[in-house]
Structure 1
Amino acid sequence: MNTPPKSSRWVGGNRFELLENGEEFFPRVFEAIAQAEREVLLETFILFDDKVGRQLHAALLAAAKRGVSIDVTIDGYGSPDLPPRFTGALIEAGVRLHVFEPCRRLFGLRTKWFRRMHRKLVVVDGVRAFVGGINYSADHLADFGPKAKQDYAVQIEGPLVAHIHRFATQALGERRPPRAHWWQRRGLREGASPVPPAVGDAQAMLVTRDNHEHRDDIERHYRAAIRSARREVIIANAYFFPGYRLLRELRRAAQRGVDVKLVLQGQPDMPIVKWAAELLHGPLLRAGVQIHEYCRRPLHGKVAVVDDEWATVGSSNLDPLSLALNLEANVVILDAGFNRQLRERLHTLIEKDCKQLDASSAPPRTAWRLVLDFAAYHFTRKFPAWAGWLPAHTPRLASPDEVEGREQPAVGHRAHP
């Protein structure tokens, strides 16, 4: 593999378990919270008051009543309508609930729709972590019906958990109060998370995207892996509209004989997603890239495998929002066993539930079409950056009451000093 970005470093001794869809992910997270003894840190883009959200709610309340220290961060855009009885019960139990809002609302309306806390992280007791793309909503379960999402996450054990814990703690900033007990306080407030012992052979790193020092780290890892590929690249990504450099690496890999497969949405939850991806079909197909549209239900995954070891799972799409504005988190994994498992799952997806496109499905290369595609591509790529000029890139965590512009009750002040 090529040298990764300097902002990242490999951590050895880890064990990863792939979790596919809510059926595998939710029971494992709820079980970990039920077993928590000291601390739960949780970040999610979407938390709904549905059967999944209420299960998480019950698990957090039970842990808080046992004296577990709990911080939950949700996004104000992704989780806009949680009722006061839902949030109030958590705050009353001592859960510190934070809402990511980059700017105050104007007349009750959010003024910046394109800047989101899109990460999905859980850290329990500093020894177990979860990273992926699955939100806490019932549409990640198969019984939701045809609109149920296809998605992935990983459970992580080993030294990398300390890095994820440190990152999640630092993301809370000054919103997090001092801990009540010496065994909770020791080392964590200074960012020196205790390192769990080695439990496996996997090397890995947490790779994040923010609007300061790590603006393109996730994209650079993708490009480095594709550039190093010698045999196979499989990328399954829900919202695929990357920049020119990543597209160039995909075309070059296919042209030098690498088996490059893209798994994209065939039944998108937003029509503009399919339209945007189709702008790219012609150049990719002509270069030899295979495009497979997943047609069983909406694809929500953000995963990839390259050759025999490299894999990534996380929250980052390969579109302008994730690559230019959102706060994202992926894990990059070097482990032959995990790579093999994820590759087999993706191959099964391709063989059973995908439709492969061919060059004849791409629009004809007329002069007018080339001009239209060029203008549409560059406008769509640049629009999020224009939308992100204001306000400043500094994230803001607020309480639910602050977001709504109401005076915060006394219990909220205790929860958010």
Structure 2
Amino acid sequence: MSSAPIEPTTIEHVPSSPPVREPGVVDVEYGWQGNNLVQLLENGEAYFPRVFEAMRQAKSEILLETFIVFEDKVGKELQQVLIDAAQRGVRVTASLDGFGSGELSTEYLAALSQAGVHLQIFDPAPKRLGIRTNWFRRLHRKIVVVDGTIAFIGGINFSADHLADFGPEAKQDYSVEVQGPAVTDIHHFALMQSGRPGRAKYWWQRRRQRRSELAFSEHDGQVRLVYRDNGDHRTDIEEVYRLALRSAQRRVVIANAYFFPGYRLLREIRNAARRGVDVRLILQGQPDLLVAKLAARMTYDYLLKSGVQIHEYCERPLHGKVALVDEDWSTVGSSNLDPLSLSMNLEANVLIRDRAFNRELFERLDILSKHHCKAMSPDKAPRGRVWHMTVGFLVFHFLRHFPAWAGWLPAHKPRLKRFTHSGSETP
């Protein structure tokens, strides 16, 4: 596997370097949009056919951002779909993370570029002793927008490990398909992130929301895009979680792959359970990273003693990042509830106010927790050996403080580099 050297253009700025903006362009805070159709897509079996069908029907434009593409059957199908679209005149822009998609061969990338795909690699870095570097501040979003009329957003990457036939390591995950006015915001956001500033909106075109309005709206079919960056939107996703938990009256269900949130979010989860809300967490029982399980279990006693129900999904790795509150509020996206997602990575979620969608998501998660999970209890919660608990304690507190410590280090500027099939470097 080899990577192509390409000249960078800055796309994202870390906190140590103030953002450079065009005159008149301000940061976006996207508002609620009504009258949307939202469809839940569970696992690759539902997601890949829908997103590939939309791409095959594309007439003018495909925008894609993703963390991982592998050269497996899913990655090869994606490659062919994008090539076919570009060759029939569709403008295709694909932005891939340099770490998550770092194993793609030059031949794979060159085939896309030669077909006319505008291919961009986020923050690529050479391997050191055969190991990928630049682990932190990743492009972790998973967004597809087709013709500005249909959007997909969630946690599913373009890899075969999101399909059940992959085997025991196949991931359990979720995405959503959105059609309606909210696609305009998702499309605008994807355009801005793809480095096409000519389509940027100016202040009189923006809708800003007060913080108190971040979580709730009045009618079904409401969708709102929220995102996390390393500029002015570092805590937006965490804040909407906290606001939703604070307003919960009857039930909360959170299914999340990597769970070790900050103390403020943990307190909101605990406080909701203490005031009588039915709070249920679905977490990994068979994690793809052992460190995730060790850290998450350090929160169990604190939460279980307050009445929070914790269920470990043990059939295969849980990769989902979804939640619901009461009967109408839901969120689906790329953001885990861990220090990397909440403090460093570039993430995007949609908030959804729709009773039918909430009900469907609840039914799917209810089946998962009741029939495919192991329930924890205060007296039976796994504690393991003393050294396991010691390691878990150290890991949890290291991860809690790691973003702050990382902020003391010299920060690089994540860059978006364009790949050209000639192997030359272009801005």
The bucket for the TM-score relative to the shorter chain is: 0.7 to 0.9
- Check conservation: 1:48, 1:79, Cα contact below 8 A: yes
Which structure carries more helix by proportion?
Answer: 1
Q: How many residues align?
A: 384
Deviation string for 1:79-113 (max 9, x for gaps)?
Answer: 11111221111000110111110777779865431
- Corresponding residue for 1:189? 199
Deviation string for 1:279-334 (max 9, x for gaps)?
Answer: 00001000100000001111000000100110000000000000010000000001
- Corresponding residue for 2:50? 28
More displaced 10-residue stretch of structure 1: 265-274 or 165-174: 165-174
Give 2:235's match in structure 1, choosing from 199, 202, 216. Answer: 216
Which one-letter code corresponds to 1:377 in the other structure?
Answer: F
Q: 1:28 to 1:412 in 2, by over 3 A?
A: farther
Q: 1:225 to 1:201 in 2, by over 3 A?
A: closer
Matches of 1:45 and 1:138, distance apart in 2: 14
2:250 is the alignment partner of 1:253: no
Shift of 1:171: 0.7
How well do the aligned residues superpose, as a CA RMSD in angstroms?
A: 2.6
Deviation string for 1:218-276 (max 9, x for gaps)?
Answer: 01100100110000000000000000001001111111100000000010011111100
- Check conservation: 2:188, 2:200, Cα contact below 8 A: no
The SS at the match of 1:13 is coil
Q: 1:376 to 1:105 in 2, by over 3 A?
A: closer
Instruction: Provide the TM-score with structure 2 as the length reference.
Output: 0.84
2:217 is the alignment partner of 1:207: no
The SS at the match of 1:333 is strand
- Check conservation: 2:287, 2:293, Cα contact below 8 A: yes
2:127 is the alignment partner of 1:98: no
- Corresponding residue for 1:404? none
Q: 1:301 to 1:330 in 2, by over 3 A?
A: same
- Corresponding residue for 2:214? none
- Corresponding residue for 1:51? 73
The SS at the match of 1:12 is coil
2:342 is the alignment partner of 1:327: no
Structure 1 runs not aligned, ≥5 long? 1-5, 177-187, 195-199, 401-407
Give 1:360's match in structure 2, choosing from 367, 379, 385. Answer: 379
Deviation string for 1:135-168 (max 9, x for gaps)?
Answer: 0000000000110000000000011101011111
Structure 2 runs not aligned, ≥5 long? 1-27, 206-218
The SS at the match of 1:122 is strand
Matches of 2:180 and 2:190, distance apart in 1: 16
Matches of 2:316 and 2:127, distance apart in 1: 35
Matches of 2:227 and 2:261, distance apart in 1: 17
Identical positions, percent: 58
Deviation string for 1:373-417 (max 9, x for gaps)?
Answer: 7655332211133235445474310134xxxxxxx664766xx55
The SS at the match of 1:251 is helix
- Corresponding residue for 1:120? 142
2:316 is the alignment partner of 1:297: yes
- Corresponding residue for 1:156? 178
Q: 1:65 to 1:371 in 2, by over 3 A?
A: closer
- Check conservation: 1:236, 1:304, Cα contact below 8 A: yes
- Check conservation: 2:99, 2:124, Cα contact below 8 A: no
Q: 1:123 to 1:227 in 2, by over 3 A?
A: same
Instruction: Provide the TM-score with structure 1 as the length reference.
Output: 0.86
The SS at the match of 1:254 is helix
More displaced 10-residue stretch of structure 1: 336-345 or 97-106: 97-106
Q: 1:225 to 1:74 in 2, by over 3 A?
A: same
Which one-letter code corresponds to 1:58 in the other structure?
Answer: Q
Which one-letter code corresponds to 1:281 in the other structure?
Answer: Y
- Corresponding residue for 1:144? 166
- Check conservation: 1:250, 1:260, Cα contact below 8 A: yes
- Corresponding residue for 1:228? 247
- Check conservation: 2:83, 2:115, Cα contact below 8 A: yes
Q: 1:384 to 1:104 in 2, by over 3 A?
A: farther
Deviation string for 1:3-47 (max 9, x for gaps)?
Answer: xxx944211111100000000000000000000000000000000
- Check conservation: 2:291, 2:395, Cα contact below 8 A: no
Shift of 1:71: 0.5
- Corresponding residue for 2:192? 170
- Check conservation: 1:325, 1:385, Cα contact below 8 A: no
Shift of 1:172: 1.9
Matches of 1:107 and 1:296, distance apart in 2: 35
Which one-letter code corresponds to 2:363 in the other structure?
Answer: E
Which one-letter code corresponds to 2:329 in the other structure?
Answer: W
Q: 1:113 to 1:385 in 2, by over 3 A?
A: farther
